[in-house]
Amino acid sequence: MKLLKLFFFALGFSALNATAQDVPVEELPIATIDDKFLVTVPEIPIEEYYFIDISHLTFADDEEALKKLNFYLTANLIEPAINLEEDYLVLHVKTEYIGGDTDYNNLQFYLNHLTKPVE
């Protein structure tokens, strides 16, 4: 059973990585992430995708990286597509669900109130 769960876990993340590779990352606006997984987006009109460098984050292994990044960066309005080989992720903001109020302050407020790890 554990092997089956791990298989589906890996399959799901490979699908997310495929999404990240479909988006031309060099053209994306750059957001940042700190060691507590708090994401800050730039103060420009809200975009659907953001590039985030994760090379400064440390993890025991790839499994821990995937587990933590997905846990802290997956919510109703956002979803990460993680590329561990190149140390970045593409954050997908599901703007179609935000409605007409796609305001920077509202998005940043939402990102700031996602569950974060406790020290």
Report the chain (119 residues): mean pLDDT per 10 consecutive residues: 49 49 84 94 93 96 95 93 96 85 84 76
Identify the pLDDT of residue 119: 56
Question: Nearest-CA neighbor of 41 among 28, 22, 27, 56?
Answer: 28
Identify the pLDDT of residue 106: 87
SS3 21: helix
- φ, ψ of residue 45 in degrees (nearest 5): -55, 145
Question: Nearest-CA neighbor of 102 among 51, 50, 44?
Answer: 44
Question: Nearest-CA neighbor of 69 among 41, 93, 89, 95?
Answer: 89
Residue ranges of alpha helices (H) inside 59-102 are 62-73, 95-98
Residue 82 and residue 89: Cα distance in Å, rounded?
4
